[in-house]
Structure 1
Amino acid sequence: MTWEFHFLYALQNIHTTILDKIMVLLSTLGNSGAMWIGMAIALSINRKTRKLGFQMFIAMLVAFILGNGILKNFIQRQRPCWIDDSIKLLIRNPKDFSFPSGHSLNGFVAATTIFLNDRKAGIIAIIAAGLIAFSRLYLFVHFPTDVLCGIVLGIGIAIFVNEVFKRWKNNPLKKFY
């Protein structure tokens, strides 16, 4: 048995009724990046935060294409709940592959983008993204390396997109913010 399964099984020992409900809620907030997309839309409406909203959209789009579109389908890593189906899932069994964690990738690409533009709000966003990422381990639908790689990839994409926005002198989106 790998260290990743040892870690996931250890998490199964901390389950409580209240924690189960909290983790399901956190995971649901991260579904399809809906919370982060909603935040980007809200930021895009206000002239003061429009650039941040656009930057979040671009970063999340890059993350979606690279993470969900390319890496998941290329690597095709089985989820822990597919390998060991003896653990009762508290959420629907995911149908897509495990690596990288889309919840972690989306959360950290969005949260890091916020952090790079507004430190105080970014810290709150990073805490939220971290809790959502942890929920995926608690719920037995991702391996720790799926989550860690999603986090690292999300941070890297956010930094890259932030640099592009800072350096791109003739950015065609500038006329909108």
Structure 2
Amino acid sequence: MLQLDYHIFQIINHFAISDASLNPIMDFLSQDGEYLFFLGIIIYWFMRTKTNRRMVAEGLIAACVALGINGLIGLLIYRDRPFVHHHVIQLIQHAANASFPSDHATGAFVIAGSIWIWRKRDGWVWLLLATGIAFSRVWTGVHYPADVLAGIVIGIVIAFSVHGLMKRWKLADNILCSIVDFYEKLESKVWKNKNISHS
């Protein structure tokens, strides 16, 4: 299994030579693609609709849970980065820390999955971007395919699990709604005070 994983890694990583014109895109996705998700979350939140704010709140909770699980797995099943033991085409600098599972893949897919649950059309776009980020981590030489596949599974499973929990567990749903409502009251008060001071 590990040999197959490394063989697939070599095929994808070799694209950095055979398709070098795409390296700048892969560099961007691998290092900075996650910031597009941060920007997306901010934009959805400040669109100021109840649905978007529930979606963002669920997504952030799911991301914290998923990345926490990644941290535990990394302690229990430690795997070195590909460049530690193999000659790889490494396009970006990275610390030689735990490779499995991929935090980038997990983070991208947990947010993309959360968006898809609430906004199907937007969600497909975010899932496509998340796929690009996951693929780029192998292309640039910092993850094995199994690392990103595990991240994808964890991200999607946790996104759906948190959403399902909120639907079934009324107390958790009520707490989340109360937090969003409290924020909106504060926000409304701030905007009202601003308008008064400018009038």
Both structures adopt the same fold (TM-score exceeding 0.5): yes
Query: Could you tell me which of 56, 71, 74 is aligned with 2:76?
Result: 74
Q: 1:146: Cα distance to partner?
A: 0.9
Q: Which runs of 4+ in 1 moved over 4 A?
A: none
Instruction: Indicate conservation of the 8 Å contact 1:81/1:93, yes or no.
Output: no
Instruction: Indicate conservation of the 8 Å contact 2:99/2:143, yes or no.
Output: yes
Q: 1:148: Cα distance to partner?
A: 0.8
- How many residues are aligned here? 173
Measured against aligned partners, the alpha-carbon deviations of 1:151-177 in whole angstroms (never above 9, x if no partner) come to 111110000011122223232120215
Counterparts in 2 of 1:41 and 1:95: CA distance versus 1, 3 Å: farther
Percent identical across equivalent pairs? 33
Output the aligned Cα RMSD: 1.7
Instruction: Indicate conservation of the 8 Å contact 1:102/1:150, yes or no.
Output: yes
Letter in 2 for 1:151: I
Which consecutive unaligned segments of at least 5 residues does structure 2 have? Answer: 182-199
Instruction: Indicate conservation of the 8 Å contact 2:74/2:101, yes or no.
Output: yes
Query: Could you tell me which of 15, 21, 32 is aligned with 2:24?
Result: 21
Letter in 2 for 1:20: N
Letter in 2 for 1:14: F
Q: In structure 2, what is the Cα distance between the partners aligned to 1:28 and 1:75?
A: 24
Q: In structure 2, what is the Cα distance between the partners aligned to 1:107 and 1:40?
A: 12
Which consecutive unaligned segments of at least 5 residues does structure 1 have? Answer: none
Task: Trace 1:110-125 onto structure 2 (pairs within 5 A).
Answer: 110-125=111-126
Counterparts in 2 of 1:107 and 1:77: CA distance versus 1, 3 Å: same
Instruction: Indicate conservation of the 8 Å contact 2:81/2:96, yes or no.
Output: no
Instruction: Indicate conservation of the 8 Å contact 1:29/1:132, yes or no.
Output: no
Counterparts in 2 of 1:155 and 1:138: CA distance versus 1, 3 Å: same
Measured against aligned partners, the alpha-carbon deviations of 1:93-117 in whole angstroms (never above 9, x if no partner) come to 2342011111111111111111111
Task: Trace 1:1-150 onto structure 2 (pairs within 5 A).
Answer: 2-15=3-16, 16-30=19-33, 33-48=34-49, 49-67=52-70, 69-84=71-86, 86-150=87-151
Letter in 2 for 1:24: D
Structure in which a larger fraction of residues adopt helix:
2
